[in-house]
A and B are shown apart, each in its own frame.
Chain A
Amino acid sequence: MGSPTIQELIARALTAYADLAEVAGSVEEEWSYVDDLRTAWVARLDAVAGARADEAADPAVVDAVEALSTEVAAISDPHRAIDWLSTFPQVALLALGEST
């Protein structure tokens, strides 16, 4: 199986990101912040997916996004998850060679 496209890779990343937002969303007083943060970063990642849709992802970038997704899947503390809602897209964009 060949390398995924950038669009496919970002779609995978966004699945992990949605799970992370679910964990973060359990902090009731931060619910709207979590939602706004998620919306802002999903828009940024979607923009990259749209601009580089059919480009094949470098295997090292695929590995980076997989390692990142594995890392956030281990987070159960909702406060840490809120911090990662900001950190996750920064790391993903960096791996993709994009600015935050």
Chain B
Amino acid sequence: MRFQDAAPDARAVVYQNIQADPLVARAAELLADGPGAVRILARAVMNGESVEPERWRTMFPGLFGPGADAADRERAEAVLDVSLRVADRGEQARSQFRGAIVEALTELLLRRRTPDVRRERRVLFDGVRAQVHPYDVTVETVGAAEVLDCKWGARGINGEVLLQLDDARTHAEAEGARVRVALVVFDAYRSCLVRLARETAPADGTRLATIETIGDLATRPAALRARR
């Protein structure tokens, strides 16, 4: 088993510009810490219609109300500002930014645990045709490899993604190696389970990190089961 850079194509080149936008890195930094509520705030605003900050402050009294912790409120204001700037980009751009932010956040959190983190990598196995699409994020520590795909919402979970992740796990096993595979979804676990219940692709060996647990990636691999 070995990891390899993905061959760049036209789509990847365009997407690289989004990934490199300072707004993506700033959002990832802000979302890596603080209360989980700021992630729900970011999800709502980046999905939202309104670009009126006061409406969002009203919707999140625990973050912006008089009883809110001062540090949390400061972070929430920064998250609100960044999220509104993403929402203001138009539908297509905001969709690309949201995806790039989840990937950047995942990478940032994993780097707190290990330096062996890479982006956009394929996993090659002897005698097995390589997957067309690279995995979003990989941890390439020998003996403790992880392969992760990132999704903004539960709706992004589909059979193709599940199959590709399971392929990495099962081919590694066939070579006597172990690869942990996971979906990182910036959405609620409950919604992910609903989506996964409709999929017939293998998912029993896949773990989830969701909007409630994504911060745990800084200290341990994704742990939530894909099926109850």
Q: Is the CB of B191 within 8 A of A86?
A: yes
**Shortest Cβ distance from residue B137 to the other chain A in the assembled complex, whole angstroms:** 22
Chain A, range 30-82, C-beta contacts under 8 Å to B: 30, 32-33, 36-37, 40-41, 44, 58, 60-61, 63-64, 67-68, 70-71, 74-75, 77, 80, 82
Chain B interface size, as a band, is: 20 to 34
Q: Is the CB of B59 within 8 A of A60?
A: no
- A71–B155 Cα distance when bound, in Å, is 21
Cβ-based interface call for B144 (8 A): no
- The size of the chain A interface, using a CB distance under 8 A, is 34
What total of A-B pairs shows CB separation below 8 Å? Answer: 86
Interface of A (DSSP majority class): helix
Nearest-CB residue, chain A, relative to B63? A94
- A30–B188 Cα distance when bound, in Å, is 18
Cβ-based interface call for A19 (8 A): no
- A32–B58 Cα distance when bound, in Å, is 33
Q: Is the CB of A30 within 8 A of B155?
A: yes
**Shortest Cβ distance from residue A69 to the other chain B in the assembled complex, whole angstroms:** 10
Cβ-based interface call for B189 (8 A): yes
* 7 sampled A-B residue pairs with Cβ under 8 A: A67-B59, A70-B55, A71-B48, A82-B155, A86-B191, A87-B40, A94-B60
